[in-house]
Chains A and B, each alone.
Chain A
Amino acid sequence: MSDITQLFFDAAALGGIYAMAALGIALIFGVMNLVNFAHGEYIAFCVFALILPSTDAMSVMFLGRAPAIVLIPVILGLGALIAVASEMLVFRHMRNASPVAMMVGSFALGFVIQNTLLALYGGRPKAISLWPDLNMPVELAGASVPVLQLIVILTTLVVVTGLALLLRKTRIGLEMRAAAENFRMARLLGVRANVVITGAFALSGALAAAVALIMATQTGVADVRMGGQIMLVAFIATVIGGLGSLPGAVAAGFLIGAASVVLQAYLPLDARPFRDAFLYTLVIVSLLVRPQGLFVPKSARPRI
């Protein structure tokens, strides 16, 4: 019984991280058909912003020294800032380019950010100690759950609910949904393209920052390659969820997290090192069965 509970918390926490990263990608794809591969580097950027630039193996806290009540909004703001800046400097000038050209542009931007981090901080992964107390386990329903897992699950719920409310109840949310469905028509009705796109990038960047804070606390490591790994899983989640569908991205993020935790727990010991092969086999099966994604937005269905 407690094993199942433990598994549930592990799955929900990992899935929550994937879901938030996938949301960041799906938001941008929704408004401008861009798969932003620089998203993972926004995450890495936010993690490295916690520590002072140096190539030493031990990290010295920089922003990470601030109390949580200051640190959290500052890092979220920083994530939003780098995302908005990359839109203004790069993607704004590619709006009329093909989706593939924009995607290649995002790859290039990702490498620029990654190599800048590499130059400033060096290539060795660094130990980082952000809120170490949060990894202390507490007893809950017969399972021993790190406080951080509970925070991750709670944060994901708050973020998803908050985003849903923003999209449903606010003016900018309405404009984003309209723009996601038909940008040209939304503009003909006076919706400002720049406001909507800047808003989407700011939200996406803040989501990347939230993932960064969680990953830094959980793994205790800052690594310039960390963005690529989570980006890959998050991108797969947005595709499985149905590109452009925000609920789909969240659901698929949780699904991948759960599948990954369950495989880790129940695969025969000898097969566990190859867990990812099993995980991605499931991804292939899912795409074979529903190539359009598990949750296709209504707007994507043609209506005659």
Chain B
Amino acid sequence: MSKLGVFDLSVRYGKVPALNEVSLSIEEGERVFIAGPNGAGKSSLLGAISGAVATSQGRIEMDGDILTGQPPEAIARLGLSMVPEGREIFGALTVQENLRVGTGLRRDRHAVQTDMDEIYSAFPILGERRHAPAGALSGGQQQMLAIGRALMTNPKLMMVDEPSLGLAPKVVDQVYDKLIALQEERGLTLLIVEQSSVRAARVGGRLILMRGGAIVGGGDAADFGDQAALTEAYFGKSGAAEDAEAKA
């Protein structure tokens, strides 16, 4: 049984379709990138899996539990955690309080402190500034905090939406280094939305390409490292051909 299974999932905002019968499956411990242009449905897919976005059709399963139709807090309790686009840290709360928000769902209260110490040793800057308001952190530090906060729920599957958004390339490198180290340490399953397939190729893993609310291709991320493969996937030979057919 796969870790996460998505079957014929559709999402629509009013009459506008955002996802069209998407199916995918992710294995335990896998690292999967979702790439695609704006409006491809990447964030809608993550939103639907996390319970923040209502689905109109299809089914989502994690470890055999059905997620579809459950509220976000119930899905979080089943072991799914989210690092959202734009980080969405609680700016008025301290760094430490941010990390504690997601620990209310845990049964293993004694392990919470150990996990927090681990996050402080993985991200020393968070430890140094633990009593400072999180809103005073830099963008890169906020991204680290968002990752740490998601890890504090002790997730089985973690979803990260555009971790490189608005960060300097050097900071993005650091974020990914930490993310990969933490994944290997904890045997996490990771689902990452990443605009840049070049970045995905460098980090390594499986890549799923989305366009127009559907999955249009995918494979080993290493095969999508050059611009030509990306351009083809984004704008598509088949897409150009369809246009030509439509005109004819």
Contact = CB atoms under 8 A, between A and B. Distances in A.
Given A185-B84, A298-B133, A298-B135, A190 B102 contact: yes
B91 A190 contact: no
A178 B93 contact: yes
A301 B136 CA distance: 12
Contacts of A190: 73, 76-77, 102, 104-105, 153
Contacts of B149: 189
Contacts of A49: none
B71 A174 contact: no
B66 to A, nearest CB: 18
Contact of A189 (B91, B102, B135): B102
Interface in A178-230: 178, 181-182, 184-193
Contacts of A192: 73
Contacts of A182: 88, 90
A193 B133 contact: no
Interface of B: 50-52, 71-73, 76-77, 81-82, 84, 88, 90-93, 97, 100-102, 104-105, 133, 135, 149-150, 153
B73 A181 contact: no
- Residue from B51, B101, B133, B135 having most chain A Cβ neighbours under 10 A: B101
A276 B81 CA distance: 53
A181 B102 CA distance: 15
A187 B104 CA distance: 11
Contacts, number: 77
Contact of A297 (B52, B92, B100): B92
25 contacts: A174-B101, A175-B104, A177-B93, A178-B93, A178-B97, A181-B90, A181-B92, A184-B72, A184-B88, A186-B101, A187-B71, A187-B72, A187-B73, A187-B76, A188-B51, A188-B84, A190-B102, A191-B101, A191-B104, A192-B73, A193-B71, A193-B73, A298-B91, A298-B92, A301-B135
Interface residues of A, number: 22
A54 interface: no
A182 B105 CA distance: 18
Going nearest first, the 6 A-B pairs with the smallest beta carbon separation are A190-B105, A189-B102, A190-B76, A298-B92, A187-B72, A299-B92
A193 B51 CA distance: 13
Contacts of B76: 187-190
A202 B52 CA distance: 26
Contacts of A299: 90-92, 135
Interface string A268-304: 0000000000000000000000000000011101010
A198 to B, nearest CB: 14
A93 interface: no
Nearest to A186: B101
B92 A188 contact: no
A65 B100 CA distance: 46
Contacts of B50: 188
Contacts of A297: 92
A189 B88 contact: no
A193 B76 CA distance: 13
A275 B88 CA distance: 46
Contacts of B92: 177, 181, 297-299
A174 B97 CA distance: 7
A150 to B, nearest CB: 34
A188 B91 CA distance: 16
A272 B71 CA distance: 56
Contacts of A185: 84, 88, 90
B71 A303 contact: no
Contacts of A191: 73, 101, 104
Contacts of A187: 52, 71-73, 76
A227 to B, nearest CB: 31
A186 B90 CA distance: 9
